[in-house]
Amino acid sequence: MKPAAVFDTSSRLLVKVCGLTRQQDADACAQAGVDLCGFIFHPSSPRGVTPAVAAGLHSHGMARVGVFVKQSADEVLAIMDAARLDFAQLHGGQDAAFCDRVGRERVIRVAWPQRHVDSAGLITGTGRTALQAELSVLAPHVRCFLLDAGTSGGGHGATMDWAALRGLAPGAPWLLAGGLTPDNVASAVAACGGHDPAMLIGVDLNSGVESAPGQKDATRVAAALAALRG
């Protein structure tokens, strides 16, 4: 299977590991069975890399994802070409027109459910309706969503109320992110309702499988995969 076709499978939960900076980490991810590897193109991130560095990291058949925050669409496209990327993960609140410019089939659009919490900090009632509406507007313009904890950014290790996402079907499938570790990733997926090709199709791991920012721990990566796939 070509890396860009990774989302065409519905047989198992996909696993993405984000924030790769070293070849040894890419090697460990591929050996563990990771499906997608992520490179962060945001200078202030401790996991940030240049297009040249990303291009030089061999991904062993894993789909290659670039994380973008403040770049223009043209800059995203140029970096995707330079770093040999299959997908663009848009972390900056980019609109539908931006997604279309990059290319619907190549866009993973990040959203933050906790922007819609009520006064008790829960995603219920009108908050869940607002989240569903936000995603439904963007769904025709993306390959999938990535639902992250917090209200902006990522890689901070925070979690969220996973059960509030159960049954969420905004018109495009989604990946779960935010504070996922070998110890909680299986229960997080279960709380969301489990793998469903129309809804939850995968998870995104980052700080929860690191020994330090930008340094993945091969043992933790393998443990997370084992927790999900046995």
192-203 residue pLDDT tens: 999 998 899 999
Question: Does residue 24 belong to any structural domain of this protein?
Answer: yes
pLDDT above 60: residue 155 = no
d(CA 24, CA 181): 20
106 - beta bridge partners? Answer: none
Question: Does residue 1 belong to any structural domain of this protein?
Answer: no
Give me the chain's average pLDDT, please.
92
Output the domain CATH number for residue 20. Answer: 3.20.20.70
* Domain span including residue 192: 13-229
Q: pLDDT class for 1, splitting at 50, 70, 90?
A: low
Say which residues have a Cβ less than 8 Å from residue 108's Cβ, sequence separation at least 6: 65, 87, 88, 89, 90, 142, 143, 144, 145, 146, 175
pLDDT for 136: 95
Number of domains observed in the structure of the chain: 1
Question: Does residue 8 belong to any structural domain of this protein?
Answer: no
- Of 160, 157, 214, nearest to 181 (Cα)? 157
d(CA 83, CA 71): 15
pLDDT for 151: 60
Share of the chain above pLDDT 90, in %: 74
Residue 3 backbone phi and psi in degrees, to 5: -55, -40
Q: pLDDT class for 159, splitting at 50, 70, 90?
A: confident
pLDDT above 80: residue 55 = yes
**What global pTM score does this model have?**
0.94
Question: Does residue 5 belong to any structural domain of this protein?
Answer: no
Query: For the residues 180-199, what does the mean pLDDT come to?
Result: 95
Q: pLDDT class for 7, splitting at 50, 70, 90?
A: confident
Q: Is the dihedral of CA 137, 45, 16, 211 positive or negative?
A: negative
Question: Does residue 4 belong to any structural domain of this protein?
Answer: no
Question: Does residue 118 belong to any structural domain of this protein?
Answer: yes
pLDDT above 70: residue 175 = yes
Strand 174-176 versus strand 200-205 pairing type: parallel
Question: Does residue 168 belong to any structural domain of this protein?
Answer: yes
Question: Does residue 48 belong to any structural domain of this protein?
Answer: yes
pLDDT for 152: 62
Share of the chain above pLDDT 70, in %: 95
